[in-house]
Chains A and B, each alone.
Chain A
Amino acid sequence: MAFSLGTLIYVSLLLVNAIAILNEERFLARIGLSTQSPAAYPTGFDQAYNDPSSGGGSGSGPSVRTQLVNLIGAVRTLLRLPLIAVNVVVIAYELVLG
């Protein structure tokens, strides 16, 4: 019975936290998801889903990896300050009422 909206909120908060703490140079660049070099290091993960001909969004819209890079960049840029506030609130709630 632990599966509810509250759990879902916690899970999504932790997932967004996990996305937000990804390091640009140390992690994202090594697996080819960096914002600076989108198509620099195609790995096996990308090969499975990404067609080389449509890489980088040249032909028919952005590829999966481009969208993923955009998403991660947007989360890391946009949600940093709100995440701090939300985390503080959740931690305080857990300390008092958890």
Chain B
Amino acid sequence: MLHRPPAPQVSRSPPPLHHPIPTHPHYAIPDPPATPLDAHSPHPKGQQGQQQGQQAGGYMRYTSSPMQPQAGFSPPPSYGGQQGYQPLGDMGGIGNMGMAGMSAPHMGNMGIPPTQQQSVQGMQMWGVNDATAAMGMQFGQSAMRAGQDYLDKNFSIHVPLPLIRHQFNVSNSYVLHKLRLLVFPWRHRPWARKPKQSDTGAQADGWQPPREDVNSPDLYIPTMALVTYILLSALQTGLQSRFHPEVLGVVASKALAVLLIEFLSIKLGCYLLNIQEHGQVMDLVAYGGYKFVGVIFTMLVGLLQLGRSVYWLTFLYAFCATAFFLLRSLRQVVLPDASAAPSNVTVTSAQRGRRIQFLFMIAVSQLLYMWILAWV
């Protein structure tokens, strides 16, 4: 366009040059005053050409004037900031400025105000970021939910959580009553557990929680008794000045091994005697754990240094109490009552005799277990 000052002379030039240039010179030649700068009309052609050149320059300036500040302030603070948000925005500031200078005139030519354009672009970029973040969040949430489901499913398969919750549903009065029962079980009369009464009045399969029924086994007392037993044996070894931190682990391992042996032997006996039991794993563990109460009682007496005979008498008494308690409590596991049991299980007299023997063996084996436990 800067070739236009000599345009009047070159008006006859071949069309390929004229083609991209506006064809005003044709009409500009007859009446130069037609231009807005008509006030200076009495000018020579060269001046007029200069004027037009000026005008063209002005026009150029006009078109370029929005571009000029653009290129000057090419990285506006917000724009640069948004450039920084781009994951691949590791280009230097110069590259940024070049990018902005390149893109800004295009925007100016498109006629959209640059600030709006930038804001639109920024919103797009923010939108992209939001979508990515939302997708990531959703993915994370779904992964976490899947993991939670997996954990819940497998955990509930391997560990019967409702049963455990049922076993820990205790109250203060129950715990006191049960401890009294474990230490002195001779005068307790009804040993049968209370079945759970459903709303319809019919007998539902299930038992009332320990809070309601003192004969129900719980896991609270065995757990606490196990921990107390471990600490108490640590105290005993400490009083004999042979404490070592390893004692805690050894004692815990021994206690768990005893529990496991008893549980396995009861399970094996139940299998061999074909005793139907449903969902009573936790009950058996609980009944096995009650022996710790007697062991703790014995150890407390032993800590009082009252002599060997008192200690052994206490041990024997605790064994008898625990054995009697188990005899009474496991009776309904091994020998279901004819009235309470479902009718499809019939126990013959021979089976009954064998089961009573098995029950008696369980009770007597408490002597071995408690001796292993009390001998720290």
**Chain A residues packing against B (C-beta within 8 Å):** 1, 3-8, 12, 49, 51, 53-54, 59-64, 67-68, 71
**Number of chain B residues close to chain A: CB under 8 A:** 19
Q: Is the CB of B347 within 8 A of A60?
A: yes
B257 at the interface (CB under 8 A from A): yes
The segment out of B1-9, B196-204, B348-356 that lies at the interface is B348-356
Measured CB to CB, the nearest residue on chain A to B276 is: A61
Most chain A CB atoms below 10 A, which of B254, B260, B264, B272? B272
Looking at the assembled complex, report how far the CB atom of B260 sits from the nearest CB atom of chain A, in whole angstroms.
Answer: 6
CA distance A64 to B357 in the complex (A): 13
21 residue pairs A–B, Cβ–Cβ below 8 Å: A1-B254, A3-B257, A5-B253, A7-B257, A8-B257, A8-B260, A8-B261, A12-B264, A49-B354, A51-B350, A54-B348, A59-B348, A60-B346, A60-B347, A60-B351, A62-B274, A64-B272, A64-B273, A68-B272, A71-B271, A71-B272
Q: Distance in Å from the Cβ of B348 to the closest Cβ of chain A? A: 5
Q: Which residues of A contact B303 (CB under 8 A)?
A: none
Q: Chain A: interface secondary structure?
A: helix
User: Which residues of chain B from 182 to 241 have any CB-CB distance to chain A below 8 Å in the complex?
Assistant: none
Closest to A9 in B: B257
Query: Which among B250, B272, B347 is the interface contact of A4 at CB below 8 angstroms?
Result: B250
Confirm or deny: B256 has a beta carbon within 8 angstroms of a beta carbon on chain A. Answer: yes
Q: Is B10 interfacial (CB 8 A cutoff)?
A: no
Specify the chain B residue showing the minimal Cβ separation from A4.
Answer: B253
A12→B267 CA distance, assembly (Å): 14
CA distance A6 to B253 in the complex (A): 8
Q: A62-B274, A64-B272, A67-B271 are in contact. Are A5 and B257 (CB under 8 A)?
A: yes
Asked if A67 and B272 sit within 8 Å, CB to CB, the answer is: yes
Q: What is the CB-to-nearest-CB distance from A18 to chain B, in angstroms, rounded to a whole number? A: 15
B372 interfacial contact with A, CB 8 Å? yes
B contact residues around A4 at 8 Å (CB): 250, 253-254, 257
Task: Report the separation of the CA atoms of residues A42 and B272 in the bound assembly, to the nearest whole angstrom.
Answer: 17
Chain B contacts of A12 at CB under 8 A? 264
Are A5 and B256 in touch, CB under 8 angstroms? yes
Partner of A67, one of B250, B264, B274, B372: B274
Taken together as a complex, chains A and B put the C-alpha atoms of A53 and B348 apart, in Å, by 11
Instruction: Name the A residues within 8 Å of B354 (CB-CB).
Output: 49, 64
| Chain A nearest CB, measured from B367 CB (Å) | 16
Which A residues are in CB contact (< 8 Å) with B264? 12
Which residue from chain B places its CB closest to the CB of A60 in the assembled complex? B348
A-side contacts of B273, CB under 8 Å: 64, 67
Inside 8 A of A8's CB, which chain B residues have their CB?
Answer: 257, 260-261
